[in-house]
Amino acid sequence: MLTNSDMKRLRSLTRKKFREQYGQYLIEGQRLIVAALESQAPLLETYVTPAFLEHPGHQELIHRLDNLFIPYTVIVEATMKKLTSTVSPPGILGVCSFPDMLTPEPKNSLNWLYLDRISDPGNLGTLLRAAAWFNVTQVALSPESIDPYNPKVVRGGMGAHFALTLFTNVTLGQLCAGSHTLLGADQHGQPLSQLNFSSETPWILVLGSEAHGLSPEIIPLLTHTVSIPRLGSGESLNVAVAGGILLHHLTMGR
């Protein structure tokens, strides 16, 4: 049974202040629930509608929840709509606890993605998916970036959160230990095809805000600025599209 206290807590998790207070965030839909289970993410509880529970195609998932002792509570469709921000609620909602908050450790051989003032939840979700796809598992976000556990970002990430180690409120200076090549995406930078640095040196790819690009204080810290040459028309590339192209080049195209 969903208590008034539970309802208040769940609705509050749409706001960053309360996500931080409870140390919890929401995941919506069967795909994200399955991804959380497969990644052994800290899934605390789930909520399902009667229609979802009774659907023959969902019985395997319900059995998995039972076997893992993850509780599920049946709630009516109207209540589910109050808890999600989607037009058509997916029928299942989960609550995950935050992973352990770690201190960034740049003195390793791993490659990083650093996101400077990324504000659009759709762009951030797509960038996290790209990072997971190309196995760039260390992702740091500047203090001015949107919260990666915002429900829209989590939906856009499509399970990428469970494959990544995310660090928030990090300045690029905290990652500059001299052990990595710092590559900043900039329209006026060196063409991607001409980029030349040792493939044995780990790197940090820095992407700036959708509207303003890289912060002025970041540019002096960079080893290189790189650009993606335009072959056709258009003013610029969306930051998520540019990030995907750069990650592909750095991980697979070199």
Is 227 within 8 Å of 249 (Cβ atoms)? Answer: no
The verdict on domain 112-251 having CATH code 3.20.20.450 is: no
Q: Report the pLDDT value the prediction gives residue 167, as an integer from 0 to 100.
A: 95
Domain boundaries for CATH 3.40.1280.10 within the chain: 112-251
Q: Which two tokens stand for residue 39?
A: 């990644």
pLDDT (0 to 100) of residue 81: 93
Are the C-beta atoms of 99 and 72 separated by less than 8 Å? no
Residue ranges in the chain whose pLDDT is less than 70: 107, 199, 253-254
DSSP code string of 135-179: T--EEEE-TTSPPTTSHHHHHHHTTGGGGSEEE-S--HHHH--SS
pLDDT at res. 66: 96
Residues near 37 by beta carbon (within 8 Å), at least 6 away in sequence: 43, 64, 68
CA 75 distance to own-chain centroid: 28
Q: What is the pLDDT of residues 193-221, one digit of tens each?
A: 888 877 678 999 999 998 889 999 999 99
Note the pLDDT tens digit of each residue in 64-102: 999 999 999 999 999 999 998 788 888 999 999 998 877
Distance CA 84, CA 111 (A): 35
- Given this structure, which CATH class describes domain 4-97? alpha beta
pTM score: 0.93
